Amino acid sequence: MIEWSEQHKQIRSMVRRFVEAEIVPQIDELEHGDTPPYDVLRKMMRTFGIGDMAKGKFLADLERKKKGEVREKKEREGFHGPSADAMAMQLIPIIELCRHSPGMVTALGVSIGLTAGAIERKGTLAQQEEFVPPLLTLEKVGAWAITEPGSGSDAFGSMRASARRDGDDYILNGSKTFITNGPFADTIVFICRLEGAAGPDGELPIVSFILDRGTKGLEQSKPLRKMGMHSSPTGQLFLDDVRVPRSRLLGESEEGGARKSAKDTFGSERTGVAAMALGIIERCLELSREYAKTRVQFGKAIGEFQLIQLKLAKMEVARMNVQNLVFRQIELAGNGKHMDFAEASAAKLYSAQSAMEVCLEAVQLFGGNGYMAEYRVEQLCRDAKVLQIYGGTDEIQISQIARTLLRDA
């Protein structure tokens, strides 16, 4: 794939009009944390039928699973992803939202992509049927809780949250931090160690539980104050002897599949960063180009100075390269494939760094105005930074890429 199709462009135009009419006027409220993003996201999903389509497809697939039917050749080969057009339909709203409010994509992606995705991949049929449909329509907000105060990149090695058996139930304890949607989540996938079940290597299995808002012993904090992504509420979770039945153990299995499930989830999250970065880069380039044409210094538009032209040219190169990574995702989906873990890491690393570099160049091009909240490059710069942190830091991506290269050499 080398360019957007006419159908893709039409969809992009419709989504862009919605964003400019419904979201841009609320940017200040969203940025100040006064307005949670969920109502406007639900409106967008209703307007374009995104939630209903996802729910309908999921329920149809679920019925086939119940009957033991194999959906299609791609599924027999282990591929469960969307077609090329379906992938494009997923990525276009991400790009358009990120032109103005990247945090909204994070809130939406964690609820649908990470939380619903984890339950759909690893949950029992009963768990899938109960929890996934309301997450896909955003009727319920989801959170995927893995990070802890003492563990960031070393999510499993430093994990302290635990579960222990108590008869037919489990007792959960621990805390999680930096949890997207944490303050407002209705459904939480809580990842922890299982006590008393060490494997041959001596490590405790990693398991996941599905929790409801309001469960006794579960406390969800108020939104944390952050550098950026203000339209994405982030909070802490505290569990104090939370009792849950075995039916809330994801997959109803103690075999420790949560470690593999988390890795799959990280891979999915990393591939989505390219689309987020593209939206940020596109908007920064648009704002910078217009400013370069209208801002006059030393008697002429600053766009006539070669150093400014260099900045714009570098932004355009970054836009083209990141867009090509998005096109690769779409093309792979059309061929029944997806990025492997190392390629997803490479895509995230390059896209996140490119977005941050473009934002910093935009702020510099705007000069003092770029440092002011009135000019949106300031917000986009703050928002872009987290792309280099969540879903695995730049350093983790480099390590993953290098290990794969050395192993396969």
The catalytic site residues sit at 269
Please list, in sequence order, all residues whose beta carbon lies within 8 angstroms of the beta carbon of residue 379, skipping any fewer than 6 positions away. Answer: 27, 31, 228, 373
Residue burial 304-332, b: 16+ Cβ < 10 Å; e: rest: eeeebeebbeebeebbeebbebbbbbbeb
Q: Which tokens go with 202?
A: 């001596």
Provide the 8-state DSSP code for 228: S
| CB contact at 8 A, 131 and 170 | no
Q: Which residue has the tokens 């470690």?
A: 259
HSE-CB of 48 using CA atoms within 13 angstroms:
21
Residue 36's SS3 state is coil
Which amino acid is residue 227, in one-letter code?
M
Q: Which tokens go with 213?
A: 């808002």
Strands annotated E in 55-205 = 142-145, 162-166, 169-180, 187-194
HSE-CB of 268 using CA atoms within 13 angstroms:
22
